[in-house]
Amino acid sequence: MHQFPHTRLRRSRMSSFARTILQENWLTPQDFIYPVFILPGQDRREPIPNMPGIERVSLDLLIDAAKHWHRLGIQALNLYPCIDPALKSDDCQEAYNPNGLAQTAIRALKDALPGLGLISDVALDPFSSHGHDGVIDGKGRVLNDETLEILAKQALSHAAAGADIVAPSDMMDGRIGIIRKALESDGFTDTLILSYTAKYASHYYAPFRTALGSSGNLGKKDKSSYQMNPANRQEALLEAEQDIQEGADILMVKPAGHYVDIIHQLSQAYPIPVFAFQVSGEYAMQKMAIEQGILPPEIVMESLLCIKRAGARAIHSYYAIELAESLSH
């Protein structure tokens, strides 16, 4: 008879209670940040065709929904304004309008729900006539330093409106430093900066760009001159080191599911928190596969557990509300 060693690893998997007790990572509603798309006007909601179950909503409807989400345990929202196309311009002035859609939404949500965390996206693609995250020259090149000045104004306008966290997602060099300096100079010393440190030039963003209304402006152009090459890993360390030195409080990896090695690498290399963004394409693929019976619904929990296991402290996910509902029961 074959003699086994003393340790049989299957012993810990044989019963449900043992698997539960010995589970190393868990998800709770507090782990999720919910991205929301905001429309101007009142009593408006628009389904997003390539993101089943996700809608753009006007601020009045968002406030009512956010009260319920907060009761479920959702701690923060990530806000994306879908502005009137007529307000988009080459110089992106609407980005720092103190009475713009994003700024108005931050104030209203803070008034209604002071304890709900608000993360504001700092980038110019929702406001640009060309769909890029920065201003461009006559040849269509995205200008780094000229963009920084606008990003600093945008971040300040969000902080003044009451944003808890400003989240530069543009991937311009030096933007954390100039935003931190602007915040400190204007007295916003408590405003956190969530830096999209490792934002890859991914095709998984396609549904998001349609939802935001920037895909038509961007056309066939891409963002590979400023977002990271999906083939690169060490470059993420350089980005993180720079962001931390410039004053970032939290690092972000985006997308999440296919970049868990980057999440793990950054979470192991640096003591500050690492967040991850399960992006629109990841959501849409899973949602459509579930609806067509190709994958079981449990794939959602599995995918998010893997992201947390890799080292993410919090996860931006369009599944946040759906999972918070189920986890709260």
- Give catalytic residue positions: 199, 254
Cα 160 to Cα 99: distance, rounded to the nearest angstrom:
11
Nearest Cα to 22, choosing from 31, 10, 34, 30?
A: 10
Cα 210 to Cα 154: distance, rounded to the nearest angstrom:
22
Q: Work out the burial of residue 69: count CB atoms within 10 Å of its CB; fewer than 13 is exposed, 13-18 middle, 19 or more buried.
A: buried
Q: By the 8 A CB rule, do 183 and 159 touch? A: yes
Q: By the 8 A CB rule, do 235 and 229 touch? A: yes
Cα 325 to Cα 72: distance, rounded to the nearest angstrom:
7
Nearest Cα to 270, choosing from 195, 323, 206?
A: 195
**Element spanning 253, H or E:** strand 250-254
Q: By the 8 A CB rule, do 109 and 118 touch? A: yes
- Which amino acid, residue 105? A
Q: Which two tokens stand for residue 320?
A: 């946040």
CA 122 to chain centre: 11
- Which amino acid, residue 161? A
Cα 238 to Cα 247: distance, rounded to the nearest angstrom:
15
